[in-house]
Structure 1
């Protein structure tokens, strides 16, 4: 059974890889390992060594600290803040974020304004 920290690191690895639009194979080639190893890291079956975590962070254009963000909350299951973080692990959320950032600035602002207007509790005047 995977340790909680290994699961957290694996989730963060998967999230960042998907956010950048990389496949497991593409990331594995950049790091010099097989894609099956990326799969094992992402599901928490294998632990990520410090040296490998460093290489993964470089390949994913982030800091090593990124992988540990939210770890305290993730380890404390009683924390209500842990539940909203799960929404970012959904593929639909990541697809939406990618599509959003592919837009130019003006359409992005308009889309954001539209989303905010749909989430209002106020009745139209």
Structure 2
């Protein structure tokens, strides 16, 4: 398969993977420069990956996942196929792109800044409150 030309449209999967790289990097507080250093490339390449302008090879995605402390599958989590899904659950309150929602991202970042023992208690409280609602 040929790489997309400069004038071509980026594939939706490349854009999605790039968004997930950016989100994980942001959540960990890592700069593009630091990620690039860990992976052994220039930060401009990270910028291109994050915008979907450049496709990430499998081996490079492996290195990025390692640097960000996630599995390769993390970058594809939540990606929807073109086929319509049939689910029995109605989750109207959840945004279609939770990871693209700024409020959700701020909440996640804040959550992981809480000490682990308190975080577990907060998690259990949130679970109880969501069951009541």
TM-score range, shorter chain: 0.7 to 0.9
Q: How does 1:17-96 map to 2 (within 5 A)?
A: 17-71=25-79, 73=80, 75-76=81-82, 84-96=95-107
Q: d(CA) in 1 for partners of 2:21 and 2:86? A: 23
> Unpaired runs of 5+ in structure 2?
1-8, 88-93
May I ask how many residue pairs the two structures share in their alignment? 118
1:27 Cα shift?
0.8
CA deviations on 1:21-58 (whole Å, 9 max, x unpaired) are 11111111111111111111111100001111111011
The TM-score with structure 1 as length reference comes to 0.74
> Unpaired runs of 5+ in structure 1?
none
Cα RMSD (Å) of the superposition? 2.9
The TM-score with structure 2 as length reference comes to 0.70
Q: Which residue of 2 aligns with 1:102?
A: 113
Q: d(CA) in 2 for partners of 1:115 and 1:63? A: 26
